[in-house]
Structure 1
């Protein structure tokens, strides 16, 4: 088992320490549970293996490999298709995946206001972390980069995922799949998240599709009991770990803790939603189409993240976020 865990941890491409020397970071979060060392609730959580909440920044990029090698970095060459803040509560009873639209107009340290995905393009993981922490006042515990091309391998390793199409799936004007429920291959699911034509809400619908694919992967894994079956879990986890790059702090112990946190969750125990937005518009110079965050609602949500009470926020403000509808039982 030890050798297997080391192998899986070794599959992950390491980015170094993108948190080093970041100025003015938010303080470590507090727990609402009881830490394993017996300290009272509210003790700062400093390690993912403690019973505190955990916040990860996950980025879908077209340049996952070069992101980990500063010598290959080219300003403006790296793009992010998806930016997600993942909150894992201290009670381990759920998880929340919050998409921040890539065109959100935000302050980027050293660059003034810009689209949030420009932070990754300008300065890589460190600048994106600094931008998100400054925007949210939430301390990021770990950072990971993946790409949707890698999701095709994960999907195929599971034998496909079930996704229901509300309309025909088209790619370059060609019909890929008709409307209805399908067991999609990795390539079909990739076409699903990349479709642009015919989407009424543009990028907002594409974000929903990204979330739906992620949830379908999790649902398939749960339904097939992939993690409980050694003959299935090894190839699956091997494919997953080869598909991501992460900060050096994502060690074997932290990886094991992450698996433990999600192992008992059902598909509808994970909430997927887009953070509150106030609509779209143009940048001050009129050159760029942007997304405007609903800052009062956004700030209240992020305060709930920091307080480990996302469930309470969603119960009180169900219409403030663009929630991916639960899977029908």
Structure 2
């Protein structure tokens, strides 16, 4: 019997090592941005080893990281910018209509999501003030990261970008996600599904929703849900929906059989662009899977009462009090209050 257990344990260890090696190899499938993959000392050197003209190594100054920005090495907090592109064709660069700071706090073992409103009117380095979502189309993820860092004094070096098409496929790969759909949301979701059906001419049209309530949405239906803004509290409520989709996606991944993870990684990585080194992805992934029974805490910038709605150069924009929002954002990201949850309520007063 003892020999049996030793043999079984050996087989298990071999499988785990093999799975980790397999996933590590699969990470090469990620579409790495050749310039932004060189972020300071986070570069995985293997990504540029075959290039005769290695990409320029970006400095903290290139990314707008100040000396006062809290450092991940000191706080135990890693911030990653998640960009969702509003592109109508695959692999086409566009504005980042979804901008979310994903915070992985190893010290408190918690994940936090902070939406940055796309219409926030801020200084964009090297350009005039504009909506924050234009930084991506002006200068790709490098300028978008620099814009967030300089305005909110953060030390963000990593990003992940996905478009409608990629997110749809990722959600389908986990078997869909559970969303409580409101009756008034259905016509708007269906309108968006119809648009996505027309854009995806090479795939079978996805059925429209017929009833409200708790239900499993497939990838295209979930993307449509995350995109709608003409119902409820406009773009403020849309950011809630976007975070809700990410939270439900994360929950679904955590329930999957570990034996299926390598296959899942193999399928979804081609639809993701990132500058995260393979070693960092593995490290963060292992840390996150070890966060037991913790809710994902949510937030939104600018916070209610810290901005004004204005029309500038013909654009409807949100003009934030940068200093107030910077202080509140730092308190949320680096604070140890892990029992608060803002999910479903974007008002800062819900946490006070």
Matched, 1:302 2:302: no
CA contact (8 A) 1:146 1:245 kept: yes
Q: Residues 319 and 99 from structure 1, CA distance in 2 versus in 1: closer, same or farther, beyond 3 angstroms? A: closer
Aligned with residue 296 of structure 2, among 257, 265, 270: 270
C-alpha distance in structure 2 between counterparts of 1:264 and 1:160, whole Å:
23
Identify the residue that residue 239 of structure 1 maps to in structure 2: 267
Quote the RMSD (CA, aligned, Å): 3.1
Q: Residues 271 and 132 from structure 1, CA distance in 2 versus in 1: closer, same or farther, beyond 3 angstroms? A: same
Matched, 1:169 2:193: no
C-alpha distance in structure 2 between counterparts of 1:194 and 1:23, whole Å:
29
Choose between structure 1 and 2: higher helix proportion.
2
In the TM superposition, structure 1's runs of 4+ consecutive aligned residues that sit over 3 Å from their partners are 27-31, 62-67, 265-268, 277-280, 294-297, 312-315, 318-324
**SS across alignment from 2:107:** coil
C-alpha distance in structure 2 between counterparts of 1:323 and 1:163, whole Å:
22
C-alpha distance in structure 1 between counterparts of 2:171 and 2:178, whole Å:
10
Matched, 1:259 2:285: yes
Size of the alignment, in residue pairs?
288
Identify the residue that residue 233 of structure 2 maps to in structure 1: 201
Q: Counterparts of 1:84-123 in structure 2 under 5 Å?
A: 84-123=100-139
Q: Residues 320 and 297 from structure 1, CA distance in 2 versus in 1: closer, same or farther, beyond 3 angstroms? A: farther
**SS across alignment from 1:177:** coil
Instruction: Give the CA deviation at 1:176.
Output: 2.0
Q: Counterparts of 1:1-40 in structure 2 under 5 Å?
A: 1=18, 3-18=21-36, 19=39, 20-21=58-59, 22=62, 24-27=64-67, 29-30=70-71
C-alpha distance in structure 1 between counterparts of 2:155 and 2:94, whole Å:
24
CA contact (8 A) 1:5 1:252 kept: no
Q: Counterparts of 1:27-176 in structure 2 under 5 Å?
A: 27=67, 29-30=70-71, 44-45=73-74, 52-62=76-86, 78-167=94-183, 168-170=185-187, 171-172=190-191, 176=209
Identify the residue that residue 242 of structure 2 maps to in structure 1: 210
Q: Unmatched 5+ residue regions in structure 2?
A: 1-17, 40-57, 195-207
| Greater Rg by CA | 2
Matched, 1:288 2:295: no
C-alpha offsets along residues 95-115 of structure 1, whole Å, 9 cap, x if unaligned?
Answer: 111000111000011212110
CA contact (8 A) 2:102 2:112 kept: yes
C-alpha distance in structure 1 between counterparts of 2:35 and 2:350, whole Å:
33
CA contact (8 A) 1:25 1:139 kept: yes
Q: Residues 194 and 177 from structure 1, CA distance in 2 versus in 1: closer, same or farther, beyond 3 angstroms? A: farther
**SS across alignment from 1:60:** strand
Q: Residues 11 and 60 from structure 1, CA distance in 2 versus in 1: closer, same or farther, beyond 3 angstroms? A: same
**SS across alignment from 2:271:** coil
CA contact (8 A) 1:87 1:305 kept: no
C-alpha distance in structure 1 between counterparts of 2:336 and 2:133, whole Å:
24
Instruction: Give the CA deviation at 1:313.
Output: 11
